[in-house]
A and B are shown apart, each in its own frame.
Chain A
């Protein structure tokens, strides 16, 4: 399985969740397959999906899934100690680890060589780090959502890409509809 197939398999589980999605192909794939106001697509800023997701999780009550890649986490490795030291039971970081910089032509990353991101996350203080194979992604995500614990999932898959159109939504539209959705869900939670 390649990343786009992992994302496709996850849609039934994450479609109704707040999702912050990594720059490039992951956002384009999610946008093509299941565009939702609850998705925040990164159009730039490699590496910050996990940081945006953590900030969002710390600021409000709804669950937040940040979809990240091995290359992006390596770009912003400082994120893992911040995640490990700031408890957010509503935050799930999904690292789809295909061992390559997918959006730029599948150049190999160090995560595909000797560096083990799950071990790095554990060493950084992340308490619940789960490794899974590509085909286990939906079940692993379902369990993480049910657990009410902050979780880092490292999901290994094969490298490779499909053709996807770029996202033509204006960034301010993406941000506004996402914020409206976040606000609406938190307001509903307040009334529940």
Chain B
């Protein structure tokens, strides 16, 4: 099973029925699979904080929701994470393309990479870093953890994990 298929299978296993996304090259394959999965309603959004609003609404409507996004957008979501997701105590798995790590061809991406973990740490968001393909073995448990704790969790997936794009 490809890593993209495994990720989507874990989303479905955890009864995630609503996914919003802002694309990233590294995430193109998984977004495509999410879009095609009949179990998941995929609603592309234009900005990540908007997407988190959609997820909050879907969750209150009884559907487990997740967001797929790039780490460079983390900054624009901080207020939403604090005053919506965390303040109202809602779960939110964030599958994040961790751009700017080893293997990154675009220098500018490193500028947000160096802040990514520090920002997530400052926001007290449980963070998991997928570097090798077998790290994805833990995805099922991480998703479950987000819904159990009703907290956002971040899954950072770097270039080595995606084996280049």
Q: Which A residues are within 8 Å of any B CB, using their own CB?
A: 20, 40, 42-45, 47-60, 76, 78-79, 81-82, 86, 171-172, 174-175, 178-179, 182-183, 186
Contact at B79–A81, with CB atoms within 8 Å? no
With known contacts A55-B65, A86-B43, A76–B50 Cβ distance under 8 A: yes
- Bound form: Cα–Cα A35–B45 in Å: 31
| Smallest CB gap from A52: residue in B | B57
Question: Hey, which chain A residues are within 8 Å of B94, CB to CB?
Answer: none
Beyond A58-B41, A59-B58, A79-B53, 16 extra complex contacts between A and B, CB < 8 Å = A42-B84, A47-B53, A51-B51, A52-B84, A55-B58, A55-B61, A56-B57, A56-B60, A56-B61, A57-B57, A58-B18, A59-B63, A78-B47, A82-B45, A82-B50, A179-B60
CB-CB nearest in chain B for A77: B46
Is the beta-carbon distance between B54 and A52 smaller than 8 angstroms? yes
Q: List 20 A-B contacts (CB under 8 A).
A: A44-B84, A45-B53, A45-B80, A48-B52, A55-B58, A56-B58, A56-B61, A57-B57, A58-B54, A60-B61, A60-B62, A76-B47, A76-B50, A79-B46, A82-B54, A86-B43, A171-B89, A175-B90, A178-B60, A182-B62
CB neighbours (8 Å) of B65 from chain A are 55, 59
Chain B: residues with CB nearer than 8 A to chain A? 17-18, 41, 43-47, 49-63, 65, 79-80, 82-84, 87-90
Which of B44, B52, B61, B90 has the most chain A CB atoms closer than 10 A to its own CB?
Answer: B61
**Contact across chains for A175 and B89 when beta carbons are under 8 A apart:** yes
List residues of chain A with CB within 8 A of the CB of B88: 171-172, 174-175
Main secondary structure of the interface of A (DSSP, over half): helix
- Given A171-B87, A175-B89, is A58 in contact with B50 using a C-beta cutoff of 8 Å? no
Docked Cα-Cα span, A106 to B88, in Å, equals 28
**Residues in B neighbouring A40, C-beta threshold 8 A:** 60
Check if A45 sits within 8 Å of B84, measured CB to CB: yes
